[in-house]
Amino acid sequence: MKNWKQKLTSRKFWVAVVGFVVPLLIAFGVAESVATEVASIIMAGASVVAYIIGEGLVDASNAGSGGTDTEE
């Protein structure tokens, strides 16, 4: 499971996803502006996913070590 967490938080992975999806959209005749919007949505979603997973890992690490979260 840890491997998927690393992949989902990897910018390289998300760029690869966009690099795969956008040319497919263009090949199937989707307008370039729509392909650009899809790429933007994927990257925005990737940022949210990476943040959520990253924060979850930090919280799990703090809970496991008995540490406290000093961020306010």
8 compared with 34, residue with greater pLDDT:
34
9 compared with 56, residue with greater pLDDT:
56
Given this model, what pLDDT does residue 60 score? 84
pLDDT in tens, 12-50: 888 889 899 999 999 999 998 999 999 999 989 888 888
Query: Are 18 and 43 within 8 A, CB to CB?
Result: yes
d(CA 11, CA 30): 25
